[in-house]
């Protein structure tokens, strides 16, 4: 388990190597108005950090669309279509599996793309972030063909491209422990994800070009999670070896 001192030492090692630790931020389950959503956007603005709102197209309201469009630091990704579980009991939760005909799944995702493109224009980045971090390989193979340019999951990527024309950039640090009801995983546990990913990038055991991703779920935050996110962003910003990036930058690179 890592400490704040471990994070500082790891970032110092990046600086010694003359390297920059790229960081990005994704938040899931957006679409409906909520006080916690406003708090999250304020936190990202305070941190001077671009934030990628993984938005459920079927949940998107005009109020939230207008809110996002008023924020220059907000980018919009796609989070499934309706965030509905179609799997039988015992198989886990799946929206993007093969529990329905694949043409139905792809048709929904195409409709979601059209909805978000119409609502946000250039602010929308055509990246799929599968609900529950589950997606069938057969669906992944078809995403670029219907207009997606990226895929974002959890844990370090194995390959830069999940399929031809589909850049993969995942998140690593999720400060929420989900088992037993959403609650803070603890500072050491959450920091260990950040430090281990940074170390793996630096020593070559992980893809050095994949930015280290912070994953949040604003609707499930308790005060301990808010405090951790605030502390983490402050400490990252305080170090010269770090830089926030957007998914657009990754697509252009």
Could you tell me the two tokens for 48? 């001077």
Mean pLDDT of 167-195: 96
**99 falls in which pLDDT band (50, 70, 90)?**
very high
Mean pLDDT of 23-34: 98
pLDDT of residue 35: 98
Using alpha carbons, select from 185, 153, 172, 161 the residue that is nearest to residue 213.
172
Name the packing angle between helices 223-237 and 187-203 (round to 10°).
Answer: 30
What is the distance in angstroms between the CA of the first residue and the CA of the last residue of the chain? 33
**227 falls in which pLDDT band (50, 70, 90)?**
very high
Place of tokens 């119409």: 118
CA distances from 45 to 104, 121, 156 (A): 38, 21, 27
What stretch of H or E contains 246? none
Q: Contact at 8 Å (CB) between 95 and 85?
A: yes
The pTM for the full model equals 0.97
pLDDT tens, 49-64? 999 999 999 999 999 9
Could you tell me the two tokens for 116? 């978000």
Task: Tell me what the pLDDT averaged over the chain comes to.
Answer: 97
Q: Where are the domains of the chain?
A: 4-252
pLDDT at 1 over 90: no
CATH topology of domain 4-252: TIM Barrel (3.20.20)
**253 falls in which pLDDT band (50, 70, 90)?**
confident
Place of tokens 């170390």: 199
pLDDT tens, 191-222? 999 999 999 999 999 999 999 999 999 999 99
Query: Which 3 state secondary structure label does DSSP give 116?
Result: helix
The 10 Å CB-count burial string (b at 16+, else e) for 72-104 is eebbbbbbbbebebbbeeeeeebbbbeeeeeee
pLDDT of residue 87: 95
Q: Contact at 8 Å (CB) between 49 and 238?
A: no
């Amino acid at each position: 388990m890592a400490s704040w001192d471990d994070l500082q030492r790891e970032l110092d090692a990046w600086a010694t190597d003359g390297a920059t630790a790229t960081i990005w931020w994704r938040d899931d389950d957006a679409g409906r108005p909520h006080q916690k959503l406003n708090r999250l956007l304020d936190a990202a603005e305070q941190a001077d950090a671009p934030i990628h709102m993984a938005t459920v197209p079927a949940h998107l309201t005009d109020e939230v669309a207008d809110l996002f469009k008023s924020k220059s630091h907000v980018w919009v990704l796609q989070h499934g279509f309706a965030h509905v579980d179609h799997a039988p009991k015992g198989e886990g939760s799946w929206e993007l599996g093969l529990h329905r005909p694949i043409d139905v799944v792809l048709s929904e995702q195409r409709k979601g793309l059209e909805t978000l493109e119409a609502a946000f224009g250039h602010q929308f980045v055509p990246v799929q972030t599968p609900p529950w971090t589950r997606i069938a390989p057969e669906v992944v193979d078809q995403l670029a063909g219907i207009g997606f340019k990226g895929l974002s999951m959890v844990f370090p990527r194995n390959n830069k491209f999940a399929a031809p024309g589909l850049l993969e950039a995942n998140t690593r640090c999720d400060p929420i422990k989900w088992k037993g009801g959403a609650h803070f995983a603890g500072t050491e546990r959450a920091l260990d994800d950040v430090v281990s990913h940074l170390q793996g990038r630096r020593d070559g055991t992980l893809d050095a070009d994949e930015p280290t991703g912070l994953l949040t779920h604003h609707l499930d935050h308790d005060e301990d999670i808010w405090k951790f996110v605030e502390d983490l962003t402050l400490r990252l910003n305080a170090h010269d070896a770090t830089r926030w990036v957007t998914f657009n930058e990754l697509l252009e690179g």
